[in-house]
Amino acid sequence: MLDQRLLRNDPTLITAPLARRGLATDLSGLQQLALQARDLEQQRSELQAEGNRIGREVGERIRAGAAPGGEEVKELREQGNRIKQQVAALEEQEKGIEAQLLEQLMVLPNLPSPLCPTGRSEADNVELKRWGTPRLPAGGEQLQEHWQIAERLGIVDTERSVRIAQSRFVTLLGQGARLERALISFMLDHHAKRGYTEVLPPILVNTASLTASGQLPKFAEESFRCAEDDLWLTPTAEVPLTSLHRGEVLSAEQLPLKYAAYTPCFRREAGSYGRDTRGLIRLHQFNKVELYWFCRPEDSEAAHEQLTLDAEAILEALELPYRRLELCTGDLGFSAVRTYDLEVWLAGAGTYREISSCSTCGDFQARRASIRFRDGKQTRLLHTLNGSGLAVGRTMAALLEAGQQADGSVRLPQALVAYVGADRLVAGSP
């Protein structure tokens, strides 16, 4: 959520950055609400101070000998009661205006960093680096896509998954299930060695948690909701991790806090009809390992680089070529100030596909979740960062395509051999 002080003092500090996102916004009405809320708060505070003064005066006069039921004290108490009624009326007005203000602020996205390249769409994203050599067809070979390889190996069943649930769900079998489990364990172990605390959070999250991370109210249609409870299936571990310290005041000495969490994730994928209908790329349910940082504001830029390097380290350990893109302002996520996307090479498809999005969110989520840290005598909003480390299904897809062999098997990278218990996947193996 954006800082109301910007809105009150100079709305162009909000509208100009939002224009870089491609959003034309008139905040004049919202500014008036913010100013009105501040004026009501000042009036209420002044009246409360006057009421407190009268209360003290009543005590002083009684101690000086005035009769508690006498006219002198009675008049003061009546004056105090009138002030209490005025304060109560102002509080009601203030609550109503604050509710309107909050409702409108909650749908405004974060302000992009000045370092973020200006652009309108993903076509304007900037490639920053590449790692590894993409595998290309050689000597007339035909490289298959991951869903073809998975079907041939018998490790994914989509038809029965439709029977169990609906389309865009998969069931992993045998070597496929083992590889998925191996990838999750490998990723968590790898991140633990780099100083992350492993977390296994609830998969069901409440409305407050989704609101704190920025998923609600704007993206309700993207999430699955439990109709009879205030619970939703988490779309990403970013949601429960944001709320891990919701409403808390941390100490500066605790920061940075670095978490790595595995969760199944659930998304409706609204608006993606007809896209990636086969395979592991775009599913309603998928597994992901999420990286999350809480840090001091002055450290967030360096933390963003380190978090991204930690995600890249998984790709490098798995020998998967990738590239890093910086998202332009028009392609930024709702809560992000700045984002690096990692795209892995899919050899069978012959293209790069997103496998991780590493974002710094500034104090946007911390303000929504009321997470601060004590810095000397003052408390300050901290900064939050998140990134996939990695999306497990997409990692499996890349491994299947990168490791496919002429004899039909799939060679696995050395880093996974101990986790899988084999150096390759072979059709017919349990």
Whether 243 sits among the annotated catalytic residues: the reply is no
DSSP string, 346-386: ETTTTEEEEEEEEEE-TTHHHHHHT-EEEETTEEEE-EEEE
Q: 394 is written with which tokens? A: 């997409």
The answer to whether the beta carbons of residues 353 and 343 sit under 8 Å apart is yes
Looking at 356, 359, 394, 409, which residue is catalytic?
A: 394
Cβ-proximal residues to 95 (8 Å cutoff; 6+ apart), any chain: none
Q: Which of 267, 324, 338, 372 is catalytic?
A: 267
Q: Please, which residues bridge with residue 285 across strands?
A: 266
Q: Which residues contact 394 (CB under 8 A, 6 or more apart)?
A: 280, 281, 344, 353, 354, 355
Q: Catalytic site residue 411?
A: no
> Do 232 and 208 meet the contact criterion of CB atoms below 8 Å apart?
no
At CB < 8 A and 24+ separation, what contacts does 379-382 make? 379/249, 380/297, 381/297, 382/250, 382/255, 382/294, 382/295, 382/296, 382/297
Closest CA to 428 of 182, 154, 101: 154
Q: How far apart are CA 125 and CA 128, in angstroms?
A: 10
Residue 180's nearest CA partner among 356, 371, 419 is 419
Cβ contact 168:282 at 8 Å = yes
- Any idea how long the chain is? 430
Distance CA(372)–CA(382), nearest Å, equals 6
Catalytic site residue from 209, 223, 356, 357: 357
Strand partners, 357: 341
Catalytic residue check, 357:
yes
- State the Cα–Cα distance between residues 194 and 380, nearest whole angstrom: 27
Does residue 375 sit in helix, strand or coil?
strand
Residue 29 tokens read as 């009405």
The tokens of 137 are what? 């067809």
Active site residue 178: no
- 77, 354, 380, 424: the active-site residue: 354
The residue assigned the tokens 């939703």 is 232
Catalytic option among 61, 246, 268, 282: 282
Q: Report the C-alpha gap between 305 and 385 in whole angstroms.
A: 10
Active site residue 354: yes
DSSP characters over 90-102 = HHHHHHHHHHHHH
Q: What is the rounded CA–CA span in Å between residue 174 and residue 430?
A: 5
Find out whether 329 and 112 touch, Cβ atoms under 8 Å: yes
Active site residues: 267, 282, 354, 357, 394
